[in-house]
Structure 1
């Protein structure tokens, strides 16, 4: 796409280093105009409970999970794609933006991505956080549209495109045609719920208590939503709930699949629902072109096979799926003409 379009008060300032921000439940990603994606960190902070001071954020806070002293607590200030602690979110975002934009000479404009199902209050909280962190104007972009642009789908075409964006806290499903969302659904189910299902499953089946990092490791190493050609096993350490002592168990990918099935079934159902309500004129396009999966959750093994079997349409995972949303939002920052067509509502300043 052509970049640098639009000057003056109505457009992007050519040297303003404007930003795209994907403030997600699991990760925060920042794109700076002219530089690309400059930050990709866990949406996690470590806070001193006595002073409220930010001790660490992002990867540094992730390294502290389960290892902090009594005065320090690690937490996620977002849940299900929306802000749950505005003060901590602002501290985290200010920290990230300070790293992404060391210069303070020009206040940037920002494109902020939101799940399709957010309320007006939740959307305003995201806008306010960006404004308080120094943005001079905030544009809002739905994550499903950003994901479609980032995945290279022909969103301006009359042919329908369908995107399923699987994030840490939400899954957004949308059918897009002629530059707009024809229909969409969003459920507050994502990678975090998969981790929680693994923690519950291991506790129930093995009387073993796991931490967040251990559950995520199991998901990455042995997680799947469809039988694998070669099933995997993983050794897991946790605390025995009976003795209180450390213990190791071995899990197979088939067992992990059963643990997370209640979560993955919800994702399948919402995709089926969006297909069911798709206008007949567009359904034929989807039978030919299929569904594109984006987001970090799309990397869980077996999604293409599972959805192809359940829905009867072609399914593929976008290249660089975990960065599709920020790529799409970044394209809007780099080219104002794209932003004008797809933003949600009027920009805030």
Structure 2
């Protein structure tokens, strides 16, 4: 009997769900390799510690960018490492369901499926992230009732209206957590003449990041390199400054939300007004994101419980449906699968 695994293959982190066990792994999607020998030195948490701190012959990379595979070979090695870590030694190859952005192309789909098969999966299925996120957030997507989900991940933001088990209208934009980090780095360089790294930017985002004015202003000391003198420097950044830095990214996401609402059929639009908007993904945890969307749309917006794990949990729910479809495809997923 082969095991069934759900995998949220995200740009910034990978979550693995095993049936009857829940989420068994949550690690950054980073791989560290030796350039000279092309040997993998570390994967996940250990590799993340090396970001921006490696000597010339070692490079720590993120094999996924903007929600899709940018380095096929490294992605394959990363998936293989995570599968081995959660399964150990097994005679049977697992069936794997992987979440993908709703705007993914067929070529990108093929790359994800091939990487999973080459990593040791018996079969690979794909499911759209908004669908998995909705299921993980506890929404009954099979009802004739419209639900709107905004999944803000590391590489992409997926916005979808779901009804009767499928996506009615969707939009996927490559503006999410990573772009927020880039915006903070650019702001520090422009406003304070200090160059900071990705990890520092992420730390700022998590500690004082906001997209709606805070009642109580917060600040944090940031260490970086002064671009004028070249020496290390410490500057203090406030939550109001971060609000200014993230304004452009937030506006792009709001435009995408507006575009989806414009294309939503009137009956489903009425359902969304009644049911509200659900936000999932790590990016949705930035302070005031839900308040901003509610203020701009006039629709009640809430962040799902355990928003980071919603997509992975949703794949787990889909796996229970797979058990009854041994040789078919899952209606909720894009109807694509490969096997040897």
Q: In which range does the TM-score fall when normalised by the shorter chain? A: over 0.9
- On the 8 A contact 2:103/2:172 being kept in 1, the answer is yes
Taking structure 1 as the reference length, the TM-score comes to: 0.94
1:119 has 2:105 as partner = yes
- On the 8 A contact 1:17/1:34 being kept in 2, the answer is no
- 1:150-189 paired onto structure 2 within 5 Å: 150-189=136-175
Deviation at 1:68, TM superposition (A): 1.6
**Aligned residue among 300, 304, 318 for 1:318:** 304
Q: Find the aligned partners of 1:33 and 1:283 in 2 and give their Cα distance.
A: 35
Which residue of 2 is the match for residue 248 of structure 1?
234
What are the Cα deviations for residues 16-48 of structure 1, in whole angstroms up to 9, with x where unaligned? Answer: 221111111000111112221111100111110
- 1:210-289 paired onto structure 2 within 5 Å: 210-289=196-275
1:342 has 2:328 as partner = no
Q: Find the aligned partners of 2:266 and 2:35 in 1 and give their Cα distance.
A: 56
Deviation at 1:69, TM superposition (A): 1.9
Which residue of 2 is the match for residue 92 of structure 1?
78
**Aligned residue among 184, 193, 196 for 1:207:** 193
- On the 8 A contact 1:154/1:161 being kept in 2, the answer is no
**Aligned residue among 317, 325, 328 for 1:331:** 317
Gaps of at least 5 residues in structure 1 are 1-14
Which residue of 2 is the match for residue 305 of structure 1?
291
**Aligned residue among 87, 101, 105 for 2:91:** 105
Q: Find the aligned partners of 1:301 and 1:53 in 2 and give their Cα distance.
A: 40
- On the 8 A contact 2:5/2:17 being kept in 1, the answer is yes
Q: Find the aligned partners of 2:306 and 2:74 in 1 and give their Cα distance.
A: 30
SS in 1 for 2:331: helix
Deviation at 1:103, TM superposition (A): 2.5
- On the 8 A contact 1:34/1:334 being kept in 2, the answer is no
**Aligned residue among 150, 170, 177 for 1:191:** 177
Q: Find the aligned partners of 1:85 and 1:347 in 2 and give their Cα distance.
A: 21
Q: Which shows bigger deviation, 331-340 or 71-80? A: 331-340
- 1:61-100 paired onto structure 2 within 5 Å: 61-100=47-86
What are the Cα deviations for residues 210-254 of structure 1, in whole angstroms up to 9, with x where unaligned? Answer: 011100011011110000111111110100111111101101101
- On the 8 A contact 1:195/1:219 being kept in 2, the answer is yes
Aligned residues: 335
RMSD: 1.1
1:34 has 2:20 as partner = yes
Deviation at 1:340, TM superposition (A): 2.8
What are the Cα deviations for residues 85-111 of structure 1, in whole angstroms up to 9, with x where unaligned? Answer: 101111111111110110221011111
Deviation at 1:66, TM superposition (A): 2.1
Deviation at 1:161, TM superposition (A): 0.6
Which residue of 2 is the match for residue 51 of structure 1?
37
Q: Find the aligned partners of 1:159 and 1:88 in 2 and give their Cα distance.
A: 41
Q: Which shows bigger deviation, 102-111 or 190-199? A: 102-111
Q: Find the aligned partners of 2:334 and 2:3 in 1 and give their Cα distance.
A: 22
Q: Find the aligned partners of 1:106 and 1:239 in 2 and give their Cα distance.
A: 51
Q: Find the aligned partners of 1:86 and 1:127 in 2 and give their Cα distance.
A: 11
Deviating beyond 4 angstroms after TM superposition, the runs of 4 or more aligned structure 1 residues are: none
Q: Find the aligned partners of 2:139 and 2:231 in 1 and give their Cα distance.
A: 52
